[in-house]
């Protein structure tokens, strides 16, 4: 395959890996093997994380929102360690102490997922400041949802990035819903790029399923950020399922869901590959099967990963050179002795 012929299959593969991973997370939940129900799946939202993930460079850093599994996979996250984290197990990226919403990996530049809407956005401003100060050529990207577009911290952060000309990109994955509230009932101005442009950022609005084009355009924004022109990207998509595992979506109609699920970035990419004869059905099937096996293995790995030792409650609060917090049991026993 030529260079241009490898791009779409690569992007397709990442999107399919994200989708299959999320499906397995759903299965893991049904099996009762996840730590809690705070699982926010990004099925239907694969395009944005995939094209930005591909457009970023190896050294770049990022933060994500609570619906961030896909972004991490697109940046090289190991499905086994991710799944183990989601299961709250010892082999997880954060020893199971962070879980789905606080997954992070400093080696891959993942500065942390965040369970506070907008909470991880100023982190990338600081990372951009470090990158510029230390001359490291790292772009830092904040991924967040449309909910965060209504949080004040985003605007403080965009202003700082613009003011200090930082290598930073703000990326809004707009899935149309802030939990159960439709964007129409949350945003005074839905043209988010206009808001970002008013801060002096380069902007990009992606609202179709052509991922190759989205990749090229995103890369332009990221490349400009590397030259200290911060940017903003909005990717419109649709959250195919509920907010979290317990959500049965009473706030939207089945008709809407059926209609919107037809805008599927994965089917679209697969059809494009067939139409342009980049791959045939057998080849696509092979990719899918390989991914299916990979994600099954990740799920098994999580299920079989050992539980943490109880002492992990107390570790990692402070630097390892500092004393551990005193347990309540130790305190009480000392009083009673």
Partner 1 sequence: MSDLNKNYYEKITFRDALRLAIHDSMQEDEKIIVMGEDVAAYGGAYGATKDLLKLFGPKRIIDTPISEAAIVGASMGAALTGLRPIAELMYVDFFGMSMDQIANQLAKVRYMFGGQINAPMILRAQGGTGRSAGAQHSQSLETWIMHTPGLYLSIPYTPNDAYHLLRAALKINNPTIFIEHKLLYNTSGVLDKNNPDQIFGKAKIRKKGKDLSIISYSRMVNFAEKAAEELAKQKIDVEVVDLRTLNPLDRETIIESVNKTKRALVLSESCYTAGVPSEITSIIFEHCYTNLLKPVIRYTAEDTPAPVAPNLEENYIPTIEKIVEYSKKLCK
Q: Tell me the closest approach of the beta carbon of residue 155 to partner 1, in angstroms.
A: 9
Binding mask 198-237 for partner 1 (x = CB under 8 A): ----------------------------------------
Count of beta carbons in the 10 Å neighbourhood of residue 143:
31
CB of 200 to partner 1, least distance (A): 13
* Residue 121 touching partner 1 (CB under 8 A): yes
Q: How far apart are CA 276 and CA 87, in angstroms?
A: 41
- For residues 122 and 143, give the distance between their C-alpha atoms in angstroms, rounded to a whole number: 11
Supply φ then ψ for residue 138, to 5 degrees.
-105, 130
Site string for partner 1, 299-328 (x = CB under 8 A): ----------------xxxxxxxxx-x---
Number of residues that bind partner 1 (CB under 8 A): 55
Least distance CB 46 / partner 1 (angstroms): 25
The binder of partner 1 chosen from 51, 56, 125, 244 (CB under 8 A) = 125
Site mask, partner 1, residues 7-46, x = CB under 8 A?
A: ----------------------------------------
* Cα gap 167→170, rounded to integer Å: 10
Residues 7, 38, 153, 287: which binds partner 1 (CB under 8 A)? 153
3-state helix, strand, coil in the chain (%, to 5): 50, 10, 40
94 forms part of the interface with partner 1 (CB under 8 A):
yes
Instruction: Single out the residue of 239, 198, 195, 203 nearest to residue 221, CA to CA.
Output: 203
The residues with which 173 forms a beta bridge, in sequence order, are: 145, 235
* Site track for partner 1 across 47-86, x = CB under 8 A: --------------x-------------------------
User: 109: alpha, beta or left, given left = phi > 0 and alpha = psi -120 to 50?
Assistant: left
The residues, any chain, with a CB within 8 Å of residue 81's CB and separated by 6 or more, are 91, 92, 93, 105
Strands (E), the chain: 61-64, 110-113, 140-145, 168-174, 177-178, 181-182, 202-206, 231-236
Residue 120 near partner 1 by CB under 8 A: yes
CB of 93 or CB of 241, closer to partner 1: 93
Q: Which is nearer to partner 1, 9 or 119 (CB)?
A: 119
Residues with Cβ within 8 Å of 65's Cβ and at least 6 positions away in sequence, in order, are 113, 114, 117, 120, 143, 144, 145, 148, 173
CB of 72 to partner 1, least distance (A): 13
> Among 152, 248, 254, 277, which residue interacts with partner 1 (rule: CB under 8 A)?
152
Beta-bridge mates of residue 234: 172, 205
Q: How many CA atoms lie within 13 A of 170 on its CB side?
A: 36
Interface residue with partner 1, options 25, 54, 87, 104 (CB under 8 A): 104
20, 34, 42, 157: which one binds partner 1 (CB under 8 A):
157
Contact region with partner 1 (CB under 8 A), list: 66-74, 101-109, 240-248, 255-263: 101-109
Binding site for partner 1 (CB under 8 A): 61, 92-98, 102, 104-106, 111-112, 114, 116, 119-131, 133-134, 136, 138, 140, 152-153, 156-157, 159-160, 163-164, 315-323, 325, 331, 334-335
């Amino acid at each position: 395959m030529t260079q241009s012929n490898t791009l779409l299959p690569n992007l397709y593969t990442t999107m399919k890996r994200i989708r299959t991973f999320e499906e397995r997370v759903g299965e893991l939940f049904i099996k009762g093997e996840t730590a809690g129900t705070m699982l926010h799946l990004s099925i239907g939202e694969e395009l944005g994380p995939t094209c930005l993930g591909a457009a970023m460079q190896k050294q770049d850093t990022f933060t994500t929102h609570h619906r961030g599994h896909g972004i991490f996979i697109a940046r090289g996250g190991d499905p086994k360690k991710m799944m183990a984290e989601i299961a709250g197990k010892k082999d997880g990226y954060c020893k199971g102490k962070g879980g789905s919403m606080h997954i992070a990996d400093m080696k891959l530049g993942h500065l942390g997922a965040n369970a506070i809407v907008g909470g991880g956005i100023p982190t990338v401003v600081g990372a951009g400041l470090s990158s510029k100060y230390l001359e490291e050529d790292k772009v830092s990207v904040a991924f967040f949802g449309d909910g965060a577009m209504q949080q004040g911290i985003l605007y403080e952060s965009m202003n700082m990035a613009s003011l200090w000309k930082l290598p930073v990109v703000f990326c809004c994955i707009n899935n149309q819903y802030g939990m159960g509230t439709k964007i129409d009932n949350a945003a005074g101005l839905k043209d988010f790029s206009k808001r970002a442009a008013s801060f002096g950022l380069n902007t990009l609005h992606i609202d179709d399923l052509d991922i190759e084009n989205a990749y090229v355009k995103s890369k332009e924004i990221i490349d400009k950020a590397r030259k200290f022109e911060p940017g903003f990207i909005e990717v419109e998509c649709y959250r195919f399922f509920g907010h979290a595992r317990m959500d049965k979506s009473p706030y939207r109609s089945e008709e809407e869901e059926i209609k919107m699920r037809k805008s599927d970035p994965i089917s679209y990419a697969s059809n494009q590959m067939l139409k342009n004869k980049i791959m045939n059905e057998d080849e696509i099937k092979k990719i899918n099967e390989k991914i299916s096996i990979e994600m099954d293995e990740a799920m098994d790995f999580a299920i079989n990963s050992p539980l943490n030792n109880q002492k992990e409650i107390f570790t990692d609060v402070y630097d390892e050179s500092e004393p551990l917090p005193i347990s309540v049991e130790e305190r009480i026993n000392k009083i009673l002795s």
